[in-house]
Amino acid sequence: MKKGRTVHPLVSQLTFAIFAAAILWLLATDKDILVVGNALILVYVVYALASCVVRAKDRDKKHH
């Protein structure tokens, strides 16, 4: 049996963030809700990028 391709965690997190942003933009009726929602999505994306960088640094430290 072949091993399935694993998806990089960052790809999954960014896909979720893009999907959440699209739903927010389609359903938001108030500008304030749109601004707060976009800010929360931006925080989530920054968290995803930071966690990816931290994992890479930890992996590099273990190899040295």
Give the C-alpha separation, 60 to 38, whole Å: 33
Question: Is 30 in a helix, a strand, or coil?
Answer: coil
pLDDT for the residue numbered 18: 96
pLDDT for the residue numbered 9: 82
Q: Is this prediction's pTM over 0.75?
A: yes
pLDDT single digits (tens) 15-52? 999 999 999 999 999 999 999 999 999 999 999 999 98
